Copies of this chain bind each other. A is one copy, B any other.
Amino acid sequence: MINEAARAGEVWRTRPAAERADVLDRVADALLAAADDLWPVAARETSLGEVRLRGEIARSAVQFRLFAGVLRDGGHVEAIIDHADPSATPPKPDVRRMFQPVPGVVGVFAASNFPFAFSVAGGDVASALAAGCAVVVKAHPGHPELSRRVAEVMRAALPDPDLLGLLEGFEAGKELVQHPLVSAVGFTGSLRGGKAIQALIDERPDPIPFYGELGSVNPVVVLPSALADPVGLAEGFAASLTLGVGQFCTNPGLLFVPDDADLLKAITAAVSATTGGTMLTPAICEGFESGVSRLDERLTELARGLAGSAEGAVAPRVYTADLTTFSLGLPEFAEETFGPSAIVVTYKEITDLPEVLRNLPGSLTATLHSADPVEAAPLVPELARLAGRVIWNGWPTGVAVTWAMHHGGPWPASTTPMHTSVGATAIRRWQTPVAYQDLPEPLLPLELRDDNPLGIPRRVDGALSVG
């Protein structure tokens, strides 16, 4: 299958960006058209509900459309032209650089928690197809039937069905990572899984780029000026914590709050009023139970939600500690427990926060709640070094699919912190630059010819032009 994908990719990479854009739009259309058939399959396999799943199909379609727009813009190839300068010492040749798709096939490991938007129809696949690559997806075992159905829908919308391959099973995943024709791998999953893939890549004669999102604890810092509305804060936190039974990459696992009785009371009330649910898979449920049982032994429980009546449902769980106790429990207390659990850490002085924040692992998001920009200012750079996205007076769950979005962060949030898996720049992971030196005009790609026939943004002799 990987060989077939590679063959299909040889043609796909040569197609004009505008043609690839049209194909991505057709994939988006096909996903939306199949929504009525797809969501019930997903519901059966993931315990997620109709509203969420329909929303996620729409999000998948938006991702394909975003990359169609990226391709039509043309900035993704980052064309740079430096004309020759024979008068320079030494003389400068004509050098023209652009991104091209990585050779071979992109391997993608689908995530458990977004059966559409981070799976077969997910952002990794959309961005890799956009880049000009064929993709082979290792299906997540949590939704095998859905994976097959989505692949079928997408393959029918592609000019060559072999552009999208689907593998299942642990051994198939290993083969994917080590196949000579696979030249980059994307992954969304656990730290352990990500490390195992990296080890397999290191065994290759030619180690390849690995773009993994391995876990994130997503700290939220509430500053004193935000205490005016303790109930609003507490309800926002409880809603974000329990959204999708806490199974979001950006779930808020740490909440730093002033040692304020009203707020703690409000959090206790809000969390107690939540209802958990059935987790995506029995293995994920076991992981959650084992994570919270470790916290049970070492921390005070602040509040517990209801499990609800569904089979195997888990209850949201929130612990509390003061800043000193929390610091002494690092790094364990900052390890992600995937699911609806968090630690509320109380602090006395804002000035005590930076040191603790510097001891946290990298995250996808870091959030500030404050009514006073002056109070918050010193913390913004701290959060910007800790996480790839800094959120103001909001909650981290929810990742907008836009040009500017960055969904990445320092290890273990990302294996490659300068890359993102959501947003327009996610396409960069599946591209490599090539510079052409003194190549005759007829041999240059259209993107690099002097008259700019595609009208794309370029930097020419140091000056950017919009095309």
| A: interface residue count bin | 35 or more
Chain A residues 40-72 with CB under 8 Å of chain B are 55, 58, 69
- The CA-CA distance from A208 to B96 in the complex, in Å, is 31
Query: In the complex the two chains form, is A439's CB within 8 Å of B392's CB?
Result: yes
- The CA-CA distance from A29 to B276 in the complex, in Å, is 65
Interface flag for A133 (CB, 8 Å): no
Residues on the B chain within 8 Å of A404, using CB? 80-82, 95-97, 435, 459
Number of copies: 2
Residues on the B chain within 8 Å of A376, using CB? 443
Q: Which of A159-167, A337-345, A380-388 contacts B (4 or more CB under 8 A)?
A: A380-388
Closest to A415 in B: B207
- The CA-CA distance from A440 to B362 in the complex, in Å, is 24
Interface flag for A190 (CB, 8 Å): no
Q: Assess A443 versus B377: contact at CB under 8 Å? Given A209-B417, A392-B437, A437-B392.
A: yes
Q: Which of A254-262, A283-291, A292-300, A425-433 contacts B (4 or more CB under 8 A)?
A: A425-433
Contact check: which of B202, B362, B428 meets A418 at CB < 8 Å? Answer: B428
Residues on the B chain within 8 Å of A205, using CB? 331
Chain A residues 79-99 with CB under 8 Å of chain B are 80-82, 89-90, 92-93, 95-97, 99
Q: Assess A462 versus B202: contact at CB under 8 Å? Given A209-B417, A390-B435, A436-B392.
A: no
Shortest Cβ distance from A364 into chain B, in angstroms? Answer: 10
Beta-carbon contacts of A200-229 to B below 8 Å, as 1s and 0s?
Answer: 001001111100000000000000000000
Residues on the B chain within 8 Å of A388, using CB? 432-435
Beta-carbon contacts of A115-141 to B below 8 Å, as 1s and 0s?
Answer: 000000000000000000000000000
Q: Assess A400 versus B95: contact at CB under 8 Å? Given A362-B206, A394-B438, A406-B433.
A: yes
